[in-house]
Structure formats: structure tokens, C-alpha cells
Structure 1
């Protein structure tokens, strides 16, 4: 999907111009120094979040604390069963399409945004994007550990866990990254997809890419409710987190990095 999208959505002249610029400015040394640390950062934070099952078990066994707050019940008291309207009409074809968008469309949007900025040599924007991604993961991590909220399909009357009922393969795959199906608040699917969309809309000039990003992002928001996964509260929190991370990464990234290099240069001189 990434390869097809790159050659379909990025015009040949645009690729040629950007790639020639990249060849002049990017070599292995600069890639290792400029890009690799950010890939390592977001990879580390991602793996940290996905290791939460181990963290939770350690907390329960070592510290003897209980994390069974049944927070989904309190969210239900706040927003009611509004999410159930997304399953007023269910259809096998719609369920398969929604599952594809939720799993592959979401991953594609995040990775292609990264690949696009890398391949077009927009390194500053690429760094801002990876920092924003890492910020979202780090903010969500303590919520997933200490305030688990179970998916709507397992707690809300009238809502079925369509994604988890689709196939044992999907269920086992989802359980590998969310062992207890309680990583709801905030919604990472909402936060990360909206973040990628913001970067594509405001930091690119390709109309086709912008249209695709908006379409996929809106489709993802539908799937998180239709498939019986997220609450509206999770969605709102995801939007706020996406806006905050985009603002901080684009406004303060350069200031922080410049300050870091000034301190490093001062240390070298000393």
C-alpha cells in the first residue's frame, strides 16, 4: 500500500525534484545522525506501550494493587448508550471493510506519512512528526496502565464486539497488543490518525494526498465505534491529544532542539 500510494499520489516531477535534492543532502552518515535516532525513539515508545501486559502483571503481583475499577461503567453513566447507534445497521461486508480500515488503513496512514516526509527529504517535519507520535504514546501509556477502560463491545448493552468476533486470527493478533481489551482511553486510533492527517494537511502541498488522508481518518473514526471498540469519551480525548501533540511538536520542537545543541556545544568547548 505504501509503495502504490507513493507512486500514485506523489507526481513524478515532484518525486524527481525532491529526490535529487535528497541525494545532494542525505548520505548514510547524515541519515544515521538525523533520522535514525527519531526512528529509534518512536520504536522504543511504541514497544513500551505494547509491553503493558507485562507491566500490569508486575504491578498486580509485586505491589499487590488492583486495577479493576470498572471505569467503563462510569463512562456509561456519563454518555449513555450513544455509541450503539453506530450498530443500528450491521452488515458482513461493512464489517469486513471496517476491519480492514481499522487494521490496515490506520497502519498505512501512520507509516506513509513517515515515508512521505523521509522520501521527500522534509527532515524537520519528519522529526516533528516522530516527536508528536512519541508524545501521544507516552501520554496514553499511564492511562492504559492505571485507568483501564474496557471496549464497548464487551460492556455496552446492544453493542457487539464485531472486530473480535470476525476471526480468531484477528482476536489473537489484537490480544497481543491489547491483552485485556481495555486500552480505550484515550483512543490511539483517533489521536494518531488525526495527528497524521494534520501533518499531511498543513505540511504538504499535494491535494490528492490530503483528500486521501482526510477520507481514511474519517473512516477510522467510524470504525472505532462501529466495530464495538471505543467510547465517545475516548474519541474526544484522542482529538485533544492529537491537537496538543501537533501544536507542541510544530511550535516548540525547533526551540528545544536549538537549546539542546547550544548546551552540547558549550559542553564540548568546556
Structure 2
């Protein structure tokens, strides 16, 4: 009997892990697809015959002028290097660690919400990058220094992978994704023993990111506001309609399985 119970426990655990993996794989795949679209941005713009000189940065100047340039009045080498670290490394760590925490806890609900919100942010932002290109502030404002891009040539090469012409400004993905991850950590980690530490770190990184995207000569204030609105929108949809989205996705998978069985 003990051996049978142990075997059943292993089988049950294996089924739970398989169920957990299958629950968020469709959303991870969707996010990967969007990354692919980002890499193909220039090809898509050419296919749609978008004018390569099209740019709406002038409207940003009309809205907020050169207000963002005042942040660089406090510029120091230390502040620039630490801001670049937060922008490149801190941002990535926040997203990856949020995902890993939920995965480690085998929290299916939070994994689904994170995946849905993450994908929504990219899907909503992408059409703006194609149809509403806005140059970075350091490329538009004469008094704005390109602090991030002048640190090292490899940084520019890395950034251009997802932003080939440095005009994917509105809305800010850094603002949207960091705030979305923070909202999930703050509201969905009641069962985690180190919640206070996790929340404090997430809040600190998110606030720092909002500063760095402006200070480094990348985003407009309007971009940041757009990213914040996008974060709250995607968070609301993911947390409010998760069951409907998961159920709809499950029906599609079920139909595909039946189709394969018939074949």
C-alpha cells in the first residue's frame, strides 16, 4: 500500500506539473511571437509602405516642450552608470524574477495573469511603433544628451535589436512592463514569506526605471504616462478576465486535439 500511495503521489505531482506548464505555455508563445514581430518591424513597415521619414516627435515637443531636459541638470557619471544599469539589468531582472517566483511557487493563476498582461502590453504597443513612430528625446531635443547610447557601442547595438531606428517611444515598454510586474507582486504575493522584501525591491526598481527612461535621454514624459496607463489596463484585463481568456484558449486547444485525433 505505501508503494502504491507513493506511486500515485508521483503521478499526481507529474500531472500537476504538466498542467502548470501547459497553462502558461500559450501565453509565453504569444509573447515570443510579439518579440519576433519587434525584430521584423522594419520589414513590416516596408510591407505596409510606411514612409520611413514619418515621425511624430514634433507633437511631443508641442505637448511638453523641453521639460524633460531639466533632469539632466543633475547629471553625474555615477548617476548615469547606475541609471544605465537599472535600465538594462534591473528592468530585466524585475520581469524574470517575477516570473520565476510564481513558477517556483507553482502559482498557476499568477503565471497566467503575468503572461496575459505581458503579452497584452506588447500587442497594444506594437501598432503605435509601426504607425506612430516617435524619436527618442536625445535625437530630437538639442539640449538632451544621449547618455545611454554614448556609454558603449554595444549598448546601441543591443537597443536597436528591438528598436531599429530609435523611434519606439510611445508608449514606454519599460514603464508599462515594470509597473505591471510591480502591481502583480504587490497584489498577488500574499503567500510568499518574503513579501515585504519582494514588494520593497519591486517598488524601488519600478520607480527608478521611471526616472532613468527620462534621465538617459530616451523617453518623453508623455511616453511614461502612456506606459503607466497601458500597465494598469493590461493588469486590469489580466486579473479581471483571466478565467475567460484561459477558458477561450483551452477551447481552442481542445478543438486542435480533436482535429488531430480525427486525422
Q: TM-score range by the shorter chain?
A: 0.7 to 0.9
Unmatched tracts of structure 1, length 5 or more: 1-22
In the alignment, which residue of structure 2 is the partner of 1:230? 219
The alignment's TM-score, normalised by the length of structure 2, stands at 0.85
Cα distance in structure 1, aligned partners of 2:13 and 2:35: 32
**CA 1:89–1:66: 2 relative to 1, 3 Å:** same
Matched, 1:201 2:190: no
Cα distance in structure 1, aligned partners of 2:148 and 2:256: 53
Aligned residues: 245
> Is 1:81–1:157's contact at 8 Å kept on the other side of the alignment?
no
The alignment's TM-score, normalised by the length of structure 1, stands at 0.83
Q: How does 1:31-180 map to 2 (within 5 A)?
A: 31-59=20-48, 64-180=49-165
Matched, 1:255 2:244: yes
Cα distance in structure 2, aligned partners of 1:47 and 1:115: 22
Cα distance in structure 1, aligned partners of 2:181 and 2:94: 7
Cα deviation code 1:9-50 (max 9, x no counterpart)? xxxxxxxxxxxxxx9476553344223323222212222223
Unmatched tracts of structure 2, length 5 or more: 1-11, 259-263
Q: Give the root-mean-square deviation of aligned CA atoms.
A: 2.4
- Between 188-197 and 50-59, report the one with greater CA deviation: 50-59
* TM-aligned CA deviation for residue 155 of structure 1: 0.5
In the alignment, which residue of structure 1 is the partner of 2:4? none
